[in-house]
Structure 1
C-alpha cells in the first residue's frame, strides 16, 4: 500500500509547559490528560460554558509538557483564551513553529515520532516537525481532506466555532470526549445530552452523483426538512441531519437525490 505524506497548513501548534500544565488543561478540555503518556495523542475540544464547540484540538503528551495541534486560523485566539484561564497556575503557553503533517491512509504502525490518529486508525498517523519517510509520496492537504471525507469524518469546516455541540459533530464517537474525567468547561450540557439521549442531529456523510453541493443547502426528506449540507466535494459531503428523518423518506438537495453513506464507526 502506497503511503502519502502531506503538510497540514491549516493546523498549527501551541506548546504548554510548567509544573501545572496537566491540572490546568484537565479542567478545561473534553479529553483526559491526567493519564496522557509521552508520545501519545488524544483528540478533544475546548467548549464554551454553554457546551458548544469552540476549538478542536489534539494533545500530544511530552516529558515536561504537551503540544496542542489546533486550527492555524484560531491559534492566536486560543492562546489568548488559555492565558485568561491560566490565572495563578504555573503554566507556560507559547506558539510552536513546527509543522503538522500526516501519513495516510491507515492503519499504519506508529514509528519515529509518528502517532496513530486517535479518532480513527484509518485516518493514518500525525507527526509534528517530523521528516517524511523515504517511501512516502508527497501530496497536499486537499488529498488528505478527500481521504477524511471518504471515511465520513467531519472537520472544522463542518462545525465552525460556537455553532455545534460536540456530540452533534460526533466527538463522542471519535474519542473526543472522556465522560469519566470529571469537570471541564461545558461539561454539564455535554453530559446531559449523552445521559438523557437528547441527541437529535448528527453530522453524517452523504453521497450523490455530480458536482459539489452548496454549503448551507437544505436537505429534504420528502417534503420535510432533514438538515443542511456543511462541506464537501464532488460526489460526497458532510451534512448535519435529523436522526428521525435520515431514513424515513428519500433525501434530496436542490432536487438532486442524495443518500446517507454511514460508516461503521457512525453506526456503533
Structure 2
C-alpha cells in the first residue's frame, strides 16, 4: 500500500521535538504512520524511559504506561495488517473501570471484563442490515427499530472519533445510514483506506494471543467483515502483559526489542 503526502497528522516519535509537533511523511510497506492525536509529555517521557530498560526492570513501569504513548513511541511495532475475520470477539469493559485504567497499554487480569461475539454487537448488526438492504434502507429491521425510538422521543446517538452525533429526525436517520452505505461502497471499490476515517481500527491482544475488538473503529471492522476484506491496517492499542511476558526471551532483553520482536512474530497477522 503506497500513500504519498496525504496530509495526515503524523508524529515524529524518535526525534528531539515534542510529541505535539506534526510532520508529513511518505507511507509504504516499510514506513508507518504514528497514531493520530496527542499525548502528554509526562506519559511520553515514561515510555521513553521504559524502552531503554531490560524486560525485568521494565515490568515495574508497565502499569504506568499509557496506550497513546506506547503507540507513538512504537508506531511500527503496534501497526499490523490482519484479516478482519480473525477478530471474532470483542472486549467489553466493566462500567466501574476508571478512565485512567482504560488508558493503560498493558492490561493485567481484567476483573469484570467480558468477551462477547463481535457479530452479536449492535455495530455489526447495523452494518450487516444496511448492506443487505442497500436498495431499500427504510425496509431494514435496524432502521425501523431506530425510527421507532425517534418517534417515541428517543434520539439515536453515536460517535465518530471524538465527534458526538445526535440523530433525532427520520430524515437525519436516513442520511446517517446512507452515509454508512456510501462508505461501504467506497471500501468495496477501493479497499480499506486508513486516511478515510478520523480514528484508527484498534484491537487488544488477549493473554492467549487472540485479537479482541475494542472501541476504536468497530463499525469499520464490521464493514470489512461484511464485505469480506482479507487485509485491514490495525493498531494494537492494548495488550495483556501476560502474553508479552510469555514471549520475551529473558529479563535481560531490552523492553523495546522484546516488544518489537514479539509483534513481528505475531500469530494473527503481519506487519503492515
What's the TM-score, normalizing by structure 2?
Answer: 0.23
Larger fraction in helix: 2
Normalized per residue, which structure has more strand?
Answer: 1
Larger radius of gyration: 2
TM-score of the pair, normalised by structure 1: 0.24
